[in-house]
Structure 1
Amino acid sequence: MLDKEVEEHQEGVKSTATPTVTPTAAYATNTLRLASVSSAHLTQNLTCKAANTPALASLSASVMLRELDSELQVSLHAPKEKLSGGHPYNIKCEASGVRPPPVLTWWLRGQHLTHDIHVQSLGLDSTVSELSLLATAGDDGGLLECRAAAPTLPHLTATDSTRLTVHYVPEASITIEGVGVVGVEDGVGAEDGESGEKSVGGLRADDSATLVCVARANPPAYNVTFMFNGRPLRRPNTVRSDWNLTLKYLGHKDVGLYTCVASNPEGDGESNAVALPHRLCPGVEGRSEEVLAVVGRRWRWSVVRASPQGHLHLGERHLHLQHETDQVITGTHGLWADVDGVDESR
């Protein structure tokens, strides 16, 4: 039974008492369910009386209803030092203030984390959760949250958070920007000598190309090294501007794979590989003409243009007409060029 003062406030509110008798035991249980607990119940006594014979006075026991402190509190304990990419870290979160104990969940960049989490309850109104986090470059700058909720009071929530700072090895990428300086391609504008920008696929000998290296890193990369076929690039006729490297007077020796390596205190990160086209192999350009030759006599052809410039050794390939009659015929010829061991003929 409730105190009389409480009963007066409970008119119209239905409460139920359910008796339970255990035949094999010398005791009985009676459960009282209050349909709606209000502030009127607080600091009031709830009394249970029991009697099995009118001859004896009944026994009674009382309890007082008290309000629990329902101020939900949550605290996240993150490492004070900066995180290093590729290393695991244990991050703890504690919550208290409600019964049953609060429920904790982890969130990173708005995504619910469900793996590598260990949860334990320390008492009737507190919970501890520990997250094992493998730091990555993608976590840098991300907001890590620990959210607490009361199981029986969905509207009662609390959140603590921290913004992660992750140091990681540079993530580099490289591209090639080509600018042609010799004529135009495939006869387009050949008569008026137009020239302009070309794609990498359109690069030819004597053109220039610029290697552009971009690196994402924390802390920022302090150095970048350009690589050619897996080794540091050593080449004359280059122009360096910040993280760009321009290769001038391209030739067949420049055909290969290019990468860049960016460095910071966390380590060295190598980029993807890009290649210069094989069209940079040496060649000789000339004009086809019809000429008159006399049987039994040798003749030679003159070069109009050869590329690349420098280290070019020209020679003539003689054509001996095999006709045995003295007559004038039409013939063609070939010209060869030896550029650092590469032999081409036209």
Structure 2
Amino acid sequence: MPASGFLVLVLVLLVTCEAEPATEFVQASDGGSASLPCNLSPTGAPDKLSVVLWYRGGEQNPIYKYDVRGNQPARWADASLQNRYFLRILDDHRAVMNISPTKLSDEQVFHCKVDFAKSSTRITHVNLTIIVPPSGIQVSDDWGPVKNGITTAYAEGASLMLTCVATSGKPLAKVSWWRDRNLVTEQTEYFSDRRKSQNVLKIDKLTRSHLLAVYSCEASNSRLQPPLVVRTAIDMYLRPLEVLLIAPTGNKPAFSSGKRYNITCSCRGSRPPAIVTWWKDGVSLEGGIVTVSDNGNTTNSTLSFTPTAADNGLILTCKASNQRIPFSELQRTWMLEVLYPPRVSLNLGHGLNGNNIKEGSDVYFECHLEANPKVHRVWWLRDGEKLLTNNSAGVIVSNQTLILQRVNRHTSGRYCCEATNKEGTTKSPVFHLRVKFEPVCGDVARKVLGAAKDEPLTVDCKVDAEPAATVFRWSFNSTPGVFRELTDFKNEAGGTSVLTYVPKVAADYGTLQCWGQNDIGTQMSPCIFHVTPASRPDPPHSCVVGNVSHHSVSVSCKKGFDGGLRQKFVLTLLSGDVIIANLSSQLASDFNISNLEATHDYLATIYAVNAKGPSKQSVPLAIRTLPAPSLKEQRRSTGPTDGALKASTGPLMYILLAAGSTLIIAAAVGVIIFAVRKFKVDSPVRHPRVRSPKIEESPLTAHVQPLYTDSASDENNPDLIPEAPNSEALLTTSVTPYTITPRPSSKRNCATQMPIKPYHVTWAPILQSRNCSTQTPPPHKESSV
């Protein structure tokens, strides 16, 4: 060391020893600015400042000099300071050395030496520390560095560890964790060898409050500059909080089978949105439309569900879970109450064989029901008709049981039971009860058939039986006692046998008998067919008049024997002596006559016609139509309402009354004139009127030929079969209604040979028709056997 330097050091030490100089500590950021204080106060009496010298570390030469001994203050700085140092005199007692910008090399102990004119030198020591901030901060979670300011998603209830590391810096930075401006932890670990410091934040159990919570990591090694801050949000998976089932039917859902319902399962609180599944009695259901609320907090799944009766009592379950979180599933269940119409089944009573029920047995049915809600009505039906208890008929209805006592063939039918509840009505499958019985005649037990000689006659023997008859027997017997078995027949399905019979001689007319046989037995009473020679039909009888009005009337008669052939019916209507109409009917002996005059007398006769000819006429019927409705009645039915009558004027009423009076007078005059003409006695001077011919003598219409009439000898000799006319033309000839025909010559009494006024009401019904040549009544034919 040079001698001069040694002397300066000695001088400083002496001065130091004489008065302990103050030491100031100053910190400055690297690249910032530093202010080093210097005390300018004299140690003794007031004195004048001379020179201020600045030394750095142990250097012997000043690095900065401020001299006020001249006229002007002089400043000098070492070139190594690069003009970064500047001394500012604040007042007579203080001065500050400003360093800007600071460098890490400026970290030294500086000495400020102040000389006075008289006083001793004052030295101030300043320890300058240059602060280097940390170069960066890194936050990591359990899975590694945090990216984009948000952690890896953690499940609710899991633990979390966040580590904040500050690197470099002089001195090493202090690291702390903050949340919502509140200090959480500042326990910093320093690693000088690795030039880093860190702070670990531990959260033992994450709750919903930690979702997206922001934690701030701050690293600072000086108050001269703000700390480095890194903010980190916590991402989480949340469990479902609540699951609800919502039905359109209310809190206690009851569903009707066959109807479609939309059931909603609502899950709240899951993050991410929950996975919703549907289950019915442990079986997964497909479908369900999922919607998520805008904030993602609520997930709804809507299931379109059509329940059936089989679903009643089953468990419908909605499950919601966050698949990121184990054991996070929540569920809500319903026991389904399904309302459905009755399910009905019909069973034959225990011990009964439905295929072997015979007449005289007792049968009972049981109706089994399953319904929700309960059945409130049960009906028993046979062939669609409701059954009620009838002890005399052997029918006993007891709610769900039907008892049939002493069944017969009429008991057979299709049976079912019908049950009703609030949801509807259901019928059970039909049970076809077939009561087995031996054959009996189906239509009628006796029948008369007419046939001509050598004319094939087809005879159908229809018998009722269960099971159907499969074996038949035919026989013939006649009056002389002829009996023989017949074999010329064919059996058809359904219990019918068809015999073709041809009478050739008189002995072939008699009785045909038919017996059927099935598994139960043989028919007891045969079906009988009387074969007679074909003849004219018998006239209709028991004719009555009904539905009489002022312009129409109906006539109904009972049929007579058809002569063994197909017949039709003809009605002749007379007004006085004039035939005004002929009506025919192919199928029935009923006639409706219209377009008649009011208050008028008519006479009607009816006869039958077959291929052999017409029958005798029926007893004439006297018909009188009702009076026509009067003007007053017409006005009553067609006149204006009471309101309209009240609104009519007086003169109009008088005009109507006058018109009505005139019409009444005119009608009275007309009635008088009609009566005079009707009941006027024929004068001998008058020309005789041409009367109508007899029905047997006159054609039915002007366009129809007279019907074929057999001779008397034909009727008396059944073995003599006359040649039949064209029966098809006869039966298909239509009679034109309301055909007016001219009257032929007059009819005479057989006994007196005097003209007879035809159809005179007083005696015509009493006379009996006789043969004019023999004076004997014609033979009578039996209409039935």
Does the pair score TM above 0.5? yes
- Aligned: 1:164 with 2:336: yes
- Aligned: 1:39 with 2:208: no
Radius of gyration: which is bigger? Answer: 2
Q: After the TM superposition, which of the residue ranges 224-233 and 208-217 deviates more from structure 2?
A: 224-233
Residues 195-248 of structure 1 show CA distances to partners (whole Å, capped at 9, x for unaligned) of xx5422121111111111111111111211111122223662022333111111
Residues 288-340 of structure 1 show CA distances to partners (whole Å, capped at 9, x for unaligned) of xxxxxxxxxxxxxxxxxxxxxxxxxxxxx999788xxxxxxxxxxx88535xx
Match of 1:266 in 2: 423
Letter in 2 for 1:74: V
Match of 2:276 in 1: 104
In structure 2, distance between residues paired with 1:103 and 1:39: 26
Letter in 1 for 2:387: L
8 Å CA contact retained: 2:419, 2:426 = yes
Per the alignment, do residues 336 and 160 of structure 1 end up closer, same or farther by CA in structure 2, a change over 3 Å counting? closer
Q: Percent identity?
A: 23
Report the Cα offset of residue 279 of structure 1.
2.1
8 Å CA contact retained: 2:267, 2:300 = yes
In structure 2, distance between residues paired with 1:101 and 1:90: 21
Report the Cα offset of residue 266 of structure 1.
1.6
Per the alignment, do residues 112 and 243 of structure 1 end up closer, same or farther by CA in structure 2, a change over 3 Å counting? same
- Aligned: 1:255 with 2:412: yes
- Aligned: 1:337 with 2:524: yes
- Aligned: 1:72 with 2:241: yes
Per the alignment, do residues 64 and 30 of structure 1 end up closer, same or farther by CA in structure 2, a change over 3 Å counting? closer
Match of 2:584 in 1: none
8 Å CA contact retained: 1:2, 1:45 = no
8 Å CA contact retained: 1:208, 1:250 = yes
Match of 2:543 in 1: none
In structure 2, distance between residues paired with 1:266 and 1:35: 53
Report the Cα offset of residue 155 of structure 1.
2.1
8 Å CA contact retained: 1:76, 1:94 = yes
Per the alignment, do residues 210 and 32 of structure 1 end up closer, same or farther by CA in structure 2, a change over 3 Å counting? closer
- SS of 1:175's partner is strand
Match of 1:147 in 2: 319
Across the aligned residues of Structure 1 and Structure 2, the Cα RMSD in angstroms comes to 4.1
In structure 1, distance between residues paired with 2:238 and 2:151: 24
Match of 2:377 in 1: 223
Match of 1:189 in 2: none
Which structure has more RCO (C-alpha within 8 Å, separation ≥ 6)?
A: 1
8 Å CA contact retained: 1:96, 1:126 = yes
Residues 3-60 of structure 1 show CA distances to partners (whole Å, capped at 9, x for unaligned) of 6xxx7xx7xx662679xxxxxxxxxx899869998333447847699xxxxxxx9986
8 Å CA contact retained: 1:251, 1:281 = no
Report the Cα offset of residue 109 of structure 1.
2.1
Report the Cα offset of residue 277 of structure 1.
2.9
In structure 1, distance between residues paired with 2:267 and 2:336: 21
Match of 1:207 in 2: 361
Letter in 2 for 1:38: S
- SS of 1:200's partner is coil
8 Å CA contact retained: 1:2, 1:46 = no
Per the alignment, do residues 143 and 150 of structure 1 end up closer, same or farther by CA in structure 2, a change over 3 Å counting? same
Match of 1:186 in 2: none
Q: After the TM superposition, which of the residue ranges 63-72 and 88-97 deviates more from structure 2?
A: 63-72
Q: Which has the higher strand share?
A: 1
Q: After the TM superposition, which of the residue ranges 264-273 and 64-73 deviates more from structure 2?
A: 64-73
8 Å CA contact retained: 1:173, 1:214 = yes
Match of 1:245 in 2: 402
Q: Residues 280-291 of structure 1: matches in 2 within 5 Å?
A: 280-281=437-438
Letter in 2 for 1:149: S
Per the alignment, do residues 230 and 98 of structure 1 end up closer, same or farther by CA in structure 2, a change over 3 Å counting? same
Report the Cα offset of residue 149 of structure 1.
0.8
8 Å CA contact retained: 2:149, 2:231 = no
Where in structure 1 do 4 or more consecutive aligned residues deviate above 4 Å?
A: 29-37, 46-49, 57-61, 66-69, 317-322
8 Å CA contact retained: 2:383, 2:414 = yes
- SS of 1:104's partner is strand
8 Å CA contact retained: 1:141, 1:165 = yes
Letter in 2 for 1:171: R
Per the alignment, do residues 33 and 146 of structure 1 end up closer, same or farther by CA in structure 2, a change over 3 Å counting? closer
8 Å CA contact retained: 1:205, 1:282 = no
Q: After the TM superposition, which of the residue ranges 88-97 and 203-212 deviates more from structure 2?
A: 88-97
- SS of 2:341's partner is strand
The alignment's TM-score, normalised by the length of structure 1, stands at 0.62
In structure 2, distance between residues paired with 1:217 and 1:35: 53
Name which of 140, 144, 165 aligns with 1:15: 144
- SS of 1:138's partner is helix
The alignment's TM-score, normalised by the length of structure 2, stands at 0.29
Residues 141-163 of structure 1 show CA distances to partners (whole Å, capped at 9, x for unaligned) of 22211110103124210001222
- SS of 2:436's partner is helix
In structure 2, distance between residues paired with 1:14 and 1:159: 33
Q: After the TM superposition, which of the residue ranges 259-268 and 232-241 deviates more from structure 2?
A: 232-241
